[in-house]
Chain A
Amino acid sequence: MSNALGQTIHAPGGALRRSAAERAANWLGDRGTLVTGVALAAIVVLFSLIGPYLYTASPYAIHGHHALEAPSAAFPLGTDQIGRDELARLIAGGYATLIVSIPAAVLTFLLGITYGLAAALSPSWFDKVLMRVLDAILALPGLVVLIFFSALFTPGTFELILLLGLTSWPGLARIVRNEAIAQRNRDFILATRQFGGGTWYIARAHILRVMAPILVVNATFLVGDSVLALSGLSFLGLGLQPPYTSWGGLLQTGLNLIALDPWWMILPAGLMIFLSIMAANLIGQGLLARFGAAR
C-alpha cells in the first residue's frame, strides 16, 4: 500500500510480509545489476583477449579489391577504406584498449588512495594545503590535461598507461580523503591510537579496511572512466598511433568517411566502448547496493 507520494504505508499485520517481499525484489534487482555487469564484462574481455585465437584474420592485411565493403560472409563486419577486416580490427582494438586502460586504472587507484590518505592523516594545515592544490587540479578537466601532455610526444602503450594514470587520480583522492576523515575519529581508531598504534599502522590495518567496500566500488568505476578517457584520446588521434588501432581510433576513421555512410565502421566500435563502460558501471552499482545492504 502506498500514498500519493509513493511512500509505503506500513499497515499493521501486513507490514512484515510486505517488507520481506520488497527486500527480496531489491535483492534480486541488485543481484541482477551485478550479474548483468559481470556478464557484459566477460563478453568484452573474452572478445578482446580470446578473440584473436578464434578469429584469426589479420587486422593489418590489406585486401585492395574489397575496400569499404559492407558486412558480408567473408568480412563479418565489413572492411575499412583500404580493405582491412573490420572484425579483426575491432578485436585488436579491444585488446589495445584493455591492455592500456586496466593498468592505467590500477595506477590511478594507487595514486588516488595515496594522496587521499596522506591528506587525511596529515596535520590539518598540510591537509588544507593538499586540498587547495587538489581543488585547483580538479578545476582542469582530465581530458584537457591529457590532451596537453599527449601533445608533447607520441605515446606508446606504456606512455599511455602512465599518462592516463597520472592525470585521472584527483577525483578518487578527494573521495578517499573525505571518507578517511570521516573514519579517522571513530572510537575504535581513537582507541588504537590510545594503545600506541602508529599512523601508518592505523591507515593500513583499520582505515583502509573499513573503506574497502567504497574502494572496490570506485575501482570498478575507474576502469570504466579509463576506457572512456583512452577512447576519447584515441578518437582525437592523440592515443595509440596507426597502424595499431583502438576502439576510439576506429570510430575516428568512421567519422572521417561519414559522408559514405559506413555504419559498420562506427556502430560496432561505439557499442564496444558503451558495453565496457556499462559493464564497469553496472558492477559498481551492484556492489554499491550489496555493500549498502550488508551494512
Chain B
Amino acid sequence: MLRMIANRLATAILSLAILITIVFFMTHATPGGPAFSILGQKATPQAVQQLNARLGLAAPLWQQYLLWWWHLLQGRLGYSYLLNRPVTQLVGDYMMNTLALYVGAILLSLVLSIGIGLVQGVTYGRWPARLIGALQLSLYALPTFFVGTMFILYFGVKWGVLPTGGITNLRLEQPGLLDYGRHLALPVLTIGLLGVSGLSRYFGTSVHEELGKDYVRTALAKGLTFRAVLFKHVLRNALRPLVTILGLAFPGIFAGSVLVETVFNYPGLGYLLWRSALSQDYPVISAIVLLIGALTVIGNLLADLVNGLLDPRERYE
C-alpha cells in the first residue's frame, strides 16, 4: 500500500509540474504580453516598456519561468489588475462557495445515480432499463445553462418558490442557513443532474456486469436472497469503478459549474473566472486555471487511493 501511495503521489506531482509549465506558457502567449491587457490595446510603447520593467516581464523567458515557480512555491500569485486585491485572498473567498456547490451536487448525483443504476442493472434488457437509457441520453444532450435558465424561469419567475440567483438574500440582515440552502437548491440540482446521466449509465452497466458473474450464482445457490446478494456483494463491487469515474468526471463537473454559476450569479470560482475573462484580469484567470487543474490531479489521486483501500488487488498494480 505504501509503495502504491508513493507511486501515485510521484505521478501526481509530475502532472502538477507539467500543468504549471503549461499554464505559464499560456499566460505568456498573450499577444503583446499582459501589459496590453492592463493598459489597454492602445497603450504607447513607452508605457508598455515601463510596466513590463516594473512587473518583471522584461526579463528573459527562462528567468520569468523560474521566478514563476519561486513565487508559486511561496504561494504568491500576484494581485488582481481589476480589484487590486491579492489573488490568493480573492480566490480563497470564492472557492468556499464553489466547494459547497460541488459537495452538494456530487452527493446528489451519487445518490440518484446509485438508485437509477441499480434499477437499470437489475432490469437490463427490459423496458425499465430501456426507458432509463433513453432518459440518460436525453439528459446528456441537455446543456446545463439551458436547464439552469429553465429552472430560473419556472421556479424563480413563474412560480416564485426559489430565488433566481445570488448566494443570500441581500435584504435579510442575518441570512440564516435556510437562506443559503434556498439559494443553493437550484444550482446544486442543475449540476447534480449534469452528473447523473453519465454516472448512472456507468453504474447501471457495472451492476449488470457484476450480476452475471460466478460469485453471484454461488451466493444465490447457497440460499442467499437476491436482495442480500445485490446490496451486500454486487453493490460493493459495482461501486469501485464509480470512484475512478468520479475522479475523472471532475473537470467536466467544473466546466459545467462555470456555466451554472454564471447562470445563477453564484459567487464561486467559475463565476470569478468568467468575470475575470471578460475584463482580462490575467493573474486571477491563471490562478483559477491552475487551481482547477490541481484540484483535478488531486481528485484523481484520491480516487486511486480510495480504490486501493476498497480493493487490495489495486495496491499491487
Question: A residues near B, CB below 8 A?
Answer: 4-8, 132-133, 135-145, 147-153, 224, 228, 231-232, 235-238, 248, 251, 254-255, 258-259, 261, 263, 266-267, 270, 273-274, 277-278, 281-282, 285
* Contact residues, B5-44 vs A (CB, 8 A): 14-16, 18-19, 22, 26, 29-31
- Smallest Cβ distance from B176 to chain A, in angstroms? 25
- The chain A residue sitting closest to B147, CB to CB, is A270
Is B137 touching A282 in the complex (CB atoms < 8 A)? yes
Is A6 touching B125 in the complex (CB atoms < 8 A)? yes
Is B216 touching A5 in the complex (CB atoms < 8 A)? yes
Q: Bound state CA distance, A235 and B145, in angstroms?
A: 8
Is B149 touching A281 in the complex (CB atoms < 8 A)? no
Pick the residue among A152, A228, A238, A261 that contacts B143 (CB under 8 A): A228
Is A5 touching B15 in the complex (CB atoms < 8 A)? no
Known contacts being A151-B278, A263-B153, A270-B146, is A281 close to B15, with CB within 8 Å? no
Is B289 touching A133 in the complex (CB atoms < 8 A)? no
| Interface-lining segment among B55-63, B73-81, B290-298 | B290-298
Question: B residues near A, CB below 8 A?
Answer: 14-16, 18-19, 22, 26, 29-31, 122-126, 137-138, 140-143, 145-146, 149-150, 152-153, 156-158, 164, 211-212, 216, 220, 226, 251-252, 254-255, 258-259, 262-263, 273-274, 276-278, 280, 285-286, 288-289, 292-294, 296-297, 300
Q: Bound state CA distance, A237 and B212, in angstroms?
A: 49
- The chain A residue sitting closest to B292, CB to CB, is A144
Is A141 touching B149 in the complex (CB atoms < 8 A)? no
- The chain A residue sitting closest to B30, CB to CB, is A152
Q: Bound state CA distance, A140 and B20, in angstroms?
A: 11
Is B137 touching A285 in the complex (CB atoms < 8 A)? yes
- The chain A residue sitting closest to B251, CB to CB, is A141
Provide the residues of chain A in CB contact with B156, threshold 8 Å.
258
Could you write out 25 A-B pairs with CB less than 8 Å apart?
A5-B122, A133-B18, A133-B22, A137-B22, A139-B251, A139-B300, A140-B22, A140-B293, A141-B252, A143-B259, A144-B273, A147-B277, A147-B285, A148-B277, A149-B26, A151-B277, A152-B280, A235-B259, A236-B258, A258-B153, A261-B153, A261-B157, A274-B142, A274-B143, A278-B141
Q: Bound state CA distance, A50 and B150, in angstroms?
A: 29
* Contact count A vs B, C-beta below 8 Å: 159
Known contacts being A235-B145, A278-B138, is A151 close to B285, with CB within 8 Å? yes
- Smallest Cβ distance from B57 to chain A, in angstroms? 16
Provide the residues of chain B in CB contact with A140, threshold 8 Å.
19, 22, 251, 289, 292-293, 296
Q: Bound state CA distance, A228 and B255, in angstroms?
A: 12
Is A278 touching B137 in the complex (CB atoms < 8 A)? yes
Is B258 touching A147 in the complex (CB atoms < 8 A)? yes
Known contacts being A151-B278, A258-B153, A281-B137, is A141 close to B143, with CB within 8 Å? no
Provide the residues of chain A in CB contact with B18, threshold 8 Å.
132-133, 135-136
- Smallest Cβ distance from B98 to chain A, in angstroms? 13
Is A7 touching B212 in the complex (CB atoms < 8 A)? yes
Known contacts being A4-B226, A236-B274, is A144 close to B157, with CB within 8 Å? no
Q: Bound state CA distance, A39 and B125, in angstroms?
A: 25
Provide the residues of chain A in CB contact with B30, threshold 8 Å.
152
Q: State the majority secondary structure of interface residues on B.
A: helix
Provide the residues of chain B in CB contact with A263, threshold 8 Å.
153
Q: Bound state CA distance, A251 and B16, in angstroms?
A: 36
Q: Bound state CA distance, A231 and B146, in angstroms?
A: 10
- Smallest Cβ distance from B68 to chain A, in angstroms? 16
- The chain B residue sitting closest to A261, CB to CB, is B157
Is A6 touching B141 in the complex (CB atoms < 8 A)? no
Provide the residues of chain A in CB contact with B142, threshold 8 Å.
274
Is A261 touching B15 in the complex (CB atoms < 8 A)? no
- The chain B residue sitting closest to A22, CB to CB, is B125
- Smallest Cβ distance from A293 to chain B, in angstroms? 15
Taking A132-B14, A135-B15, A137-B22 as given, write out 11 further A-B residue pairs in contact, using a Cβ cutoff of 8 Å, ordered by the A residue number: A138-B251, A139-B296, A140-B289, A141-B254, A147-B274, A148-B289, A151-B280, A152-B31, A231-B145, A251-B149, A270-B146
Is A139 touching B149 in the complex (CB atoms < 8 A)? no
Is A266 touching B153 in the complex (CB atoms < 8 A)? yes
Pick the residue among A8, A139, A261, A281 that contacts B19 (CB under 8 A): A139
Is A274 touching B146 in the complex (CB atoms < 8 A)? yes
Provide the residues of chain B in CB contact with A273, threshold 8 Å.
143, 146
Q: Bound state CA distance, A267 and B158, in angstroms?
A: 14
Provide the residues of chain B in CB contact with A133, threshold 8 Å.
18, 22
6 nearest A-B residue pairs (beta carbon): A270-B146, A141-B255, A151-B277, A136-B18, A143-B255, A141-B251
Q: Bound state CA distance, A237 and B69, in angstroms?
A: 33
Q: Bound state CA distance, A235 and B125, in angstroms?
A: 39
Is B26 touching A148 in the complex (CB atoms < 8 A)? yes
